[in-house]
Chains A and B, each alone.
Chain A
Amino acid sequence: MRRMGALVVACAAAALAPWGAAAESTIRIGFPMPLSGPAAVYGVPVTKGAELAVADINAQGGVLGRKLELLERDSKANADEAVRLSRELILKNNADFLIGTLTSSEAPAVSTIAKENKIVFIAPTAKTIQLTGPANLHPYIFRLASNTDIEGRTGATLVARWKDVKRVATIAPDYAYGRDAVAAFIDFIKKARPDIEIVDQQWPKLGQSDFTPFINAQMGKRPDAVFCDVYGGDFVTLAKQAGPLGYFKAINYRLADGGEVGSVDEARALGADYPFGLWSDAYDPVVWSGDEPPEHKAFVEHLRAFTKDPYGSGWAIMGYSAVEALAAGMKKAGSTDSDKVSKALLGLTFDTPVGKRTFNTATHETDSGEFWGEMVKDEHYPFAIMKEPKYLAQGPLTN
């Protein structure tokens, strides 16, 4: 149905287009993304966001007089599969650009293909610092999300504000993402608050079905705050098991989760079982209590109508903004040639529903910070919402 929807939009757009434009071929964006398996929980909303951006841009006549076409492929969150699809997209489907991959395992692998074929590749959500590290950086790779360093440091900034906290524990999934973010957290908190002691570290695997032993072990060390990087379905599981064990109460809800569990996705899944009072971040909290930027309000309404979902997802904004960034790059370059677009993207400032973002000329990453807030009950919603999302800018937190 998703493909059908995109097809209908594309056909309708083609029918409406003036003759000259219709004769031109489309600008093809290869889009490998997990659409099945556990990662599809996020791969699907990121894809929806990208579809929305493509539909919006095409409705306004496309870019440089040409329509955009999204070539969606299911990467299954598997690096090998993502690489194979990316090759195929470039060589067989003549993709002009690549946007996509969800995880920190796929993105660096696809990045090598982009380098090999000299094709601009924008990774919307992969956070590992390795992706744009000095060893792996090349002219064609760009990253939209903040990296694991920023995630760990923004988390540390929050925890450092809890003045009476002395004993801090961490719990994060046992792979690059969790390890890197926790390392950044510890590095930063030790500088910010030398009086804080790290009393425990737990490393459950990704997809852990039972957190009870990890939670009991952590509670045994009596931390008074926790930095957590467990996310998605795993966070739902953790919250449901830790709540009845008295975990959140024991730390007085002083838990900062850097895994985007402050978005409406996890909040909806947990409903009244959400550990109200903890702090988390989100790419987009979606439900915005407090001063909501008008662009964000318009975007979310648009997204809800487009996806026919009453609430939307915090991940759609990443697919949406990645396409918008690429379109802005093409406009600035006045070309769809990857060499020209990659130069145009450096230092480019583009609009997103949550404010302007700029690609750093040295790191190829955006200056994106993170939205953090306390997750609270609200009478208007049957789930937790982020109280007055605060934007922690990257500025003071970069190296």
Chain B
Amino acid sequence: MPASFLFGQFLGGLTTAMFLFLIASGLSLVFGVMRVLNFAHGSFYMLGAYLAWQVVQWLTSSGYGFWIAVVAAAAGVAILGGVIERLLFRHLYGREELYQLLFTYALVLILGDAAKAIWGTQQLSVSRPAILAGGVEVFHTVLPFYNLFIMALGPAVAVGVWLVLTRSTAGRLVRAAALDREMLAVLGANVGVIYTGMFVASSFLAGLSGALVTPIQSIVPGMDVEIIVEAFIVVVIGGLGSFWGTFWGSVLYGQVLSFGILIFPSFSLFSVFALMAVILIIRPWGLFGRPVR
């Protein structure tokens, strides 16, 4: 097998991984801090995609249309996330996970139907922004600029979130909230605001990834449920609640999918599920997670 071929496969896996990380990062953040498994994260992602398409339609003449659409979609979903957290989610903190799952699942159905009512069932699509339309050939493998951009954006988002969490006052409060929210409240911090902030940030990441995925994917009803399963897999592989775990979980997922295809061409799904099963047997708390007491 020529080395250039393996290199291409490696890059393909990395593209998959970074897209998945952008989506899963918000899911991981909310679980890590708030202990809420937000099944509706995929729905926010879907709304980001639809909003981006909508804004692109309105701005067809503008050269920066796509980028404006990405920012607008992410901001729109962030606002929606904030409203949902303020009005609905906050009644669920501290409840059993089953209630949270049921509630977020209800959100999935409601948002899915809302998207269908607004944008219909026709598949939609957004073109690549002109500036990233081309590609470059590296080692006999064509590397589209857009994929390169995503490969750079993934680690940038990871490092950015990590810096905020570890180096800023807000980040310290967030980490404190994750450890012991009652004690933090007793010490005078407004835990409600911290939680809303986290949820807004998570929704922003969902909306952003949904918008960024539009140039390389179709926008269809059902994309919400399709993606949430994959996002959950990488979060679980990496370790629930571990942010870097999600990053490396995504990388592993992408590479296992990419090279799994070469080894078992007839069973493309087999390799990633086998990976998850093996990790859950050996380390039930995931690669970077901690065992729950």
Contact = CB atoms under 8 A, between A and B. Distances in A.
Contact of A40 (B9, B13, B121): B121
B9 A216 contact: yes
A216 B222 contact: no
B147 A240 contact: no
B266 A216 contact: no
Contacts of B223: 38, 207, 209, 233
B97 interface: no
Contact of B135 (A201, A205, A246, A265): A246
A41 B11 CA distance: 32
Interface residues of B, number: 54
Interface stretch (A61-69, A120-128, A188-196, A266-274): A266-274
B218 to A, nearest CB: 3
Contacts of B265: 200-203, 217
B262 interface: yes
A203 B221 contact: no
A133 interface: no
B15 A212 contact: yes
Interface string B1-24: 110010011011101100110000
Given A37-B221, A38-B222, A210 B268 contact: no
Contact of B221 (A41, A201, A217): A41
B184 interface: no
Chain A: number of interface residues, binned into ranges: 35 or more
B13 A232 contact: no
Contacts of B112: 36-37
A282 B123 CA distance: 17
A44 interface: yes
A240 B125 contact: yes
Nearest to A200: B265
Contacts of A44: 120-121
B128 to A, nearest CB: 7
Contact of A210 (B15, B120, B218): B15
B197 interface: no
A262 B51 CA distance: 27
A213 B220 contact: no
B215 A220 contact: no
B124 A269 contact: yes
Contacts of A202: 261, 265, 268
Nearest to B145: A244
Among A174, A237, A266: residue with most chain B CB under 10 A:
A237
B216 interface: yes
28 contacts: A36-B221, A38-B221, A38-B226, A41-B220, A41-B221, A203-B265, A203-B268, A207-B226, A209-B217, A210-B216, A212-B12, A212-B147, A213-B9, A213-B13, A213-B16, A214-B261, A215-B12, A217-B258, A232-B218, A233-B123, A233-B219, A236-B217, A236-B218, A236-B220, A237-B218, A240-B218, A241-B217, A268-B122
User: 7 closest Cβ contacts across the A-B interface?
Assistant: A38-B222, A236-B218, A244-B144, A233-B220, A233-B218, A213-B258, A40-B121
